Every structure is written in structure tokens, then in C-alpha cells.
Structure 1
Amino acid sequence: MNRLALLALVGTIALASCNQAPDVSGKSVTKSFTDMKLAGYTAPSGTAVFVDLTGGDRRTTLTVKGLKANTDYLAHYHAMGTASTTDACKSNGAVVGGMIGMTTKSNASGDLVLKGFQLTADLKDAKYINVHEASALANVPVCAPL
């Protein structure tokens, strides 16, 4: 094998190893989103699915239907706040773990899939996940209590 072919083979192996999915160390957990009865929305729904991975990361996938069409959204995990002691989604808690993925635009039907990774250590106080309109963070159409 000539040197160029050898370098191409090594590069292919290195890229393949980078593209492999991380090993899953825990089971998949699914939580249903609650419609937050926000004006301008008609029964949004969906799921938040997360799996803790080997190495301390959590893979989160949010799937939501019934959002505004072609609108930018973002999502966060939150700690329990003080605005409600019985309903995590209405407690107005602080963001923990940063954003779940990047801002994502819903499609023409109002459907959205948002994916991201967080450090599990940063989520130890997380009590709920919510989806916000990116241009108006106070607008939260769905929330999933953990």
C-alpha cells in the first residue's frame, strides 16, 4: 500500500470513530409535554426524551407539534422556582444546564424537533423542561415536569 492510500485509510478510520454514537449507560426516559394554554396556540403537545450517556453527558430530544409555523424556538432545563410550590412548570425556576441544542425553527405545520447534549452534573437540580419562543422568552407553549 502506498503512503497516500495509507493516509486515506487512517483518515477514514479516524472519521468513522468520531461519528459513532456514544455508549448509553442508562435507560431512555420519556416525559410528555403539558400544554401551557398560551394564547395563539391550539393544543401543543409532544415529548421530551433523554438518556444519560457514558462520560457524563445527557442526550435530550424534544419533539413538539402544534407550535406556531416557521417560528424560532429554544428550550431549557429549569430548577424548581418559588412562583409555585406544587407545579414545577409554573414555578419560574432558574435555567440549569444551558440551552438544549441551538435555536430551531418549527416547520410550516408547527412541528419541531430539537436535540442537544448537556452535562448530567449540571442537571442535578432540574425539575422541568420547557420550550420558549426565541424572540419572546416569556412565551412558553409547552413544559414537561421531570
Structure 2
Amino acid sequence: MKRIALMAVVSTLALSACNQPSVVGNNVSKDFSGLLNTAGSGYTAAAGTAVYVDLTGGDRRTILTATGLKANTAYISHYHSKGTAAGSTNDCTSGGPVVGGLIGGGSFTSDADGKLTIKGFQSTDVLKEAAYINIHEGATPSVIPLCADI
């Protein structure tokens, strides 16, 4: 009887391990830069971290954490390729096009303290040209409080 129970546990663990994606590389962690941290903008202390890792099977897992955002506000995020905006000094100000669509597939709402977490999976194939990640207000995408060059 003990042997049957032990075999059941081992089989369950083996099967659950098969369903977990394996990591291809190490986690990459980049700090967000506050693009609107000025008086009157509603963003005086926006900050956060973008963490991503490529998995077997061709997916990238991305987890974005942010603080200092507007309370109870919808936000969207995505990767961008490098653009050619005049006067650009880094990727975040280059005005590049979106690659890979929305991280997490839609908008996410900050909590009452202005904290936000966005999680998503995207194909690494569509992110080959990605140069930066930013977080926009959902209702006004031209308002970009955070960006991270990658």
C-alpha cells in the first residue's frame, strides 16, 4: 500500500514538472525612469522595475511593478522598437513603434496607493527588435509616466 501511494506522489510530481516552462536565460531586470516626475503632472515619484525572461517554447514572461502612479487608474504597457525621433538621447525618447502588442493583453488598474503590477507572456519572435518598455495611461496613451531602456 505504501509503495502505491509513493508511486502516485512521484507520478504527480513528474507530470506537474512537465507542464512547467523552462527558463532559457537569466532574468533581466531594468529600472523604470520616471518621465513625468514633475510638480503638477500627477507623477512626482513614479518608479518601478521591469523584469523579463525568455522561456523554452518561444515565450517571454514579463513582470512590471510600479509605484507612484495615479490611484485607481487604468494603465497599459508594451515593448517598442527603437525609433528615430529628432533629439532623442535614449531609446525611451526615440518614439519607436509598438512590438508584440499589450503586455498582459489589456489594461491594469493601479491600487489606491498608486501601485501597479502587470504580468504577461509574449512571443520572443515578435520582440526581437524591442528596445524599451513603457507604461501609459489607459485612457490617454500619450501620457507615459514610466519607461525602461532594455
For these two proteins, the number of residue pairs brought into alignment is 133
Task: Pick from 80, 97, 101 the counterpart of residue 100 of structure 2.
Answer: 97
Partner SS for 1:61: strand
Quote the residue 2:29 is aligned against.
30
Q: Which residue of 43, 60, 85 corresponds with 1:41?
A: 43
Percent identity reads 53
Structure 2 equivalent of residue 115 of structure 1: 119
- 1:21 maps to what in 2? 20
Partner of 1:6: none
Query: How large is the Cα RMSD of the aligned pairs?
Result: 1.9
Where 1:89 maps in the other structure, the secondary structure is helix
Whole-angstrom distance in 1 between the partners of 2:144 and 2:71? 15
For residue 37 of structure 1, report the CA deviation from its aligned partner: 1.9
Amino acid at match of 1:100: I
Deviations 1:40-95 (A, max 9, x none): 11120010000100010000000000000000001000011111443111111100
Given the alignment, which residue of 50, 53, 62 partners 1:51? 53
Aligned pair 1:124/2:123, yes or no? no
Q: What secondary structure, in the 3-state scheme, does the structure 2 residue paired with 1:62 have?
A: strand
TM superposition outliers: structure 1 runs of 4+ over 2 Å:
16-21
Unaligned 5+ residue runs, structure 2? 1-7
Q: Distance in 1 between matches of 2:42 and 2:18?
A: 40
TM-score (norm 2): 0.83
In the alignment, residue 128 of structure 1 is paired with which amino acid? Y
TM-score scaled to structure 1, two decimals? 0.85
Q: 1:82 aligns with which of 75, 81, 84?
A: 84
- Which amino acid is 1:34 matched to? S
